[in-house]
Structure 1
Amino acid sequence: MMAVGDQGASPLRLPAFRRFLLAHLVSATGSAMAPVALAFAVIEQGGGARSLGIVLTANTVPALILLLVGGVLADRVSRSRILFLGNLVAGAAQAVVAVLVATGTATTAAMSLCACASGAAAAFTTPAAQGVVPRLVPPDRLQQANALVRVPRNAVKVVGPVAGGFVVALTGPAWALGWDAVTFVVAALLLAGLRLAGTVSAGGPGGGLRADLRIGWAGFRSRVWLWSFTLSGTAVVAAWLAGYQLLGPLVADRDYAGAGSWGLVQGAFAAGLLAGTFVCLLWKPQRLVLVAVVTSSGLFLPLAAMGSGLPLSWVLGAAVVAGAGMDVAVVAWSTVMQQQVPDEELGRLNAFNSLGEQIAIPVGYLAVAAASAYWSSGHILLVCSAVILAAGVANACVRDVHRIRRR
């Protein structure tokens, strides 16, 4: 854990935190381009909403199946080792996709298999990554550290999607996918140097997976603010990703200017994320859960703008506002989890939270893919935006959401 001399130090003065920050920056340069490249790789090989929905579902399903196992491991073994191996697997999978696309042999089935491998890796790296910051910085610097981690990632996202859109438009998606693979490998090597020790969970050394999950579930169920936010997130995340990630590129290709315009939308969303990060560096709200609920609800805005057929400038403005709100929500939520949940349970409770928020994503993708045969993309986007707004309002009415305050 933190040395006494580190208490009160700026996170940037801590070498281990700087390494973690650099790994995020390197990985972000590839990840910012990848969604644009993947969407148009599917379109390039003749696929539409159905094919893209299948690939995205293939990425999500293994992540859901293995996520709780990943949470237990994050509380039992070295989190840096998990991050190292997970990034290597994701890099290898993305490299295969890049080669398939470059050689013109990519199919929906092949890309789905690679997406499946990436999703499996994410099941282990997600809970591990969420438990790293409390090991690197003192408790009173958690929000600052959480915001700083997002500064380079969000800064790259401002340029990355725009650059990715133009790279795809000029050279095709293979180059962007290949770069993403390289950045996964470099990030893996950086994260391996953290050497974070493992934590034996409350189940005890011989408790086993089932005992650890039972203890984790009891902790999750006892926190109303946690499971109510997770339940709301089930609807919000599914509606957002189905509308934004699945229908967004298709609407941009049909109603706007294709890859270039979709890159601008993603860049505008990233600019909002960056603005939200700087808000978090300056603003320390007391009711962190309520802030996360309200600000994440702004995701309905760009979906409503696209669904209503508004000009691109309006869509860009809505994306900026939604991005700013989303980043405030992410930092607030990360901070309240790290403050309210003991370190030895953090991996499992984060896993339960992530599982709850992601469990409906495949249903959302497949439902939108099926509905696209009968409804227009605009109508589906409006439904998705309404779901996000309704879920946020309902969650804000939970009393425990208002009770939890910053420590």
Structure 2
Amino acid sequence: MDDARAGLMTVGDQGVSPLRLPAFRRFLLAHLISAAGSAMAPVALAFAVIGQGGGAGSLGIVLTANTVPTVVFLLVGGVLADRMSRSRILFLGNLGAGAAQGAVAVLVATGAATTASISVCACVSGVSSAFTAPAAQGVASRLVPPGQLQQANALVRVPRNAVKVIGPVIGGFVVALAGPAWALGWDALTFVVAALLLSALRLPGAVSPGGSGGLVADLRQGWAGFKSRVWLWSYTVAGTAVVAAWLAGYQLLGPIVAARSYAGAGSWGLVQGAFSAGLLAGTFVCLLWKPQRLVLVSVVTSSGLFLPLAAMGLGLPLLWVLGAAAVAGAGTDVAIVAWSTAMQQQVPDQELGRLNAFNSLGEQIAIPVGYLVVAATSAYWSGGHILLVCSAVILAAGVANACVRDVHRIRRA
């Protein structure tokens, strides 16, 4: 009787669509609205820095100021995600990010923006991300049945990726025609609206009170769980190199190379749009394909990030760069959905915030170093040469991680 009941529960989980759940729809809508602004933000921020006379060095400082607070506060955010209401954390985090982007928009619109002032606002936004990222990873497992986790993870990314397809293109032309302040102001508004939607989100399930030893004890328990899972820490170590090389090459050098070798903001918006189109295609792949070896699939597909960096580094025509960006985007989204599903299935809910925080910390800790190294070497090496080095780092890290035996062992629950 117990076996039959378990079978019925599994069938029931598989038959329930996440879209039929009101709380999940609210969470989905908040993601869509936030993405409608965030899709334009990278183009606007890059050309806001360039517009006030900055180059690779100034943009590197701004991006570093955004990343360092995230790294510093990420573990605290992971503990709070396991202790407090995740919907409240998401509300406050989005509100803080909206305030930071609004301040940047005002500074740029009034002509008062400097590298220092933009960096301060980027720092506030980075602190917000440190608290919202671990909390967001644990929402789907509270809202949908276990059998629908991959579908839910993919559905959350459908509207975000759909907006990202046209958002960067629109953002590029908005920046070119009206200036970056308008795109940054729109981003701020969408953060505030998303925060209001998330404030009314009620997540089922009890919140873990944490250990009696407080923050330090919770972190020790989380670290013990993290290092006991070889597939988790090996993926994190490889991700340290992959994420740093990708963001330093794509986010920092990408706009600079586009301004010098292609057609400026418009062409860079097209590249980001192609990457987002790939993300959307990857999302639909995840709705249809349920691979068994989730971690291995994530390792292999994320390695495709080397393609657009190599294309730009070699100075290939824009059409080739767009194709490479689309392929990389598709692989990235498959990797994200597969990894999120693996984490939600393999890690208990009461540890999910902390282990996600350790994973994110490991992947992001080298990003400031990558930004600063690229900014410094740009004075001696051409942007093309640096992009080729970044692409080689990504490919080498992926191959090394695929050789870890435990990565092959983790299968879909």
Decide which of 171, 175, 178 is 1:168's aligned counterpart.
175
State whether residues 75 and 361 of structure 2, in contact with CA within 8 Å, keep that contact through their aligned partners in structure 1.
yes
Cα contact 1:64–1:358 (8 A) shared by 2: yes
In structure 2, C-alpha distance between the alignment counterparts of 1:379 and 1:300, rounded to whole Å: 14
Percent identity between the aligned chains? 86
**Residue 9 (structure 1) aligned with residue 19 (structure 2):** no
Give the Cα–Cα distance (whole angstroms) in 2 for the partners of residues 63 and 199 of structure 1.
Answer: 27
Partner of 1:182: 189
Preserved contact between residue 202 and residue 345 of structure 1 (Cα < 8 Å)? no
RMSD over aligned Cα atoms: 1.4
Contact 2:85–2:207 (8 Å) recurs in 1: no
Kindly provide the CA deviation profile for residues 100-140 of structure 1, in whole angstroms up to 9, marking residues without a partner as x: 00001000000000000000000000000000000000000
Q: How do residues 240-259 of structure 1 correspond to structure 2 at under 5 angstroms? A: 240-259=246-265
1:154-200 alpha-carbon deviations (Å, 9 max, x no partner): 00000000000000000000000000000000000111111226755
Query: Quick one: distance in 1 between partners of 2:207 and 2:93?
Result: 21
Deviations 1:249-291 (A, max 9, x none): 0000000000000000000000000000000000000000000
- Correspondence 1:184-333 to 2 at 5 A: 184-196=191-203, 199-201=206-208, 203-204=210-211, 206-333=212-339
| Aligned partner letter, 1:185 | V
In the alignment, the residues of structure 2 paired with residue 323 and residue 65 of structure 1 have an alpha-carbon distance, to the nearest angstrom, of 28
User: Counterpart amino acid of 1:375?
Assistant: W
CA contact (8 A) 2:67 2:126 kept: yes
Distance 1:195 1:17 in 2: 10
TM-superposed CA distance for 1:9, in Å, is: 1.2
Superposition map of 1:387-406 within 5 A: 387-406=393-412
Tell me the secondary structure at the aligned position of residue 412 of structure 2: coil
Q: Which runs of 5+ in 2 are unaligned?
A: 1-8
Aligned partner of 1:154 among 155, 158, 161: 161
In 1, the alpha carbon distance for the partners of 2:346 and 2:237 equals 18
Query: Which of residues 383, 388, 408 is equivalent to 1:377?
Result: 383
Q: Which TM-score applies when normalising by structure 2? A: 0.96
- Note the alpha carbon deviations across 1:302-324, whole angstroms, 9 max, x for none: 00000000000000000000000
Deviation readout 1:377-401 (Å, 9 max, x if unpaired):
0000000000000000000000000
Which of 122, 133, 155 is matched with 1:126 structurally? 133
Question: In structure 2, how many angstroms separate the alpha carbons of the residues matched to 1:37 and 1:257?
Answer: 16
Matched residues in 2 for 1:52 and 1:373: separation? 14
Partner of 2:96 in structure 1? Answer: 89
Residue 78 of structure 2 aligns to which amino acid in structure 1? G
User: What amino acid is aligned across from residue 343 of structure 1 in structure 2?
Assistant: D
Which residue of structure 1 lines up, in the alignment, with residue 4 of structure 2? none
The question of 1:354 aligning with 2:360 is answered yes
TM superposition shift of 1:201: 3.9
Q: Deviations over 1:331-364 (max 9, x none)?
A: 0000000000000000000000000000000000
8 Å Cα contact 1:91/1:182 also seen in 2: yes
> Any stretches of 5+ residues in structure 1 without a counterpart?
none
Take 1:84 and 1:17, find their aligned partners in 2: how far apart are those partners? 16
Instruction: Report the Cα distance in structure 2 between the residues aligned to 1:182 and 1:365, rounded to whole angstroms.
Output: 28
Task: Answer whether contact 1:66 1:123 (CA < 8 A) is retained.
Answer: yes
Q: Post-superposition, which runs of at least 4 consecutive aligned residues in structure 1 deviate over 2 A? A: 4-8, 195-204
- Provide Cα deviations, 1:27-85, integer angstroms capped at 9, x if missing partner: 00000000000000000000000000000000000000000000000000000000000
Change (3 A) 1:198 1:97: farther
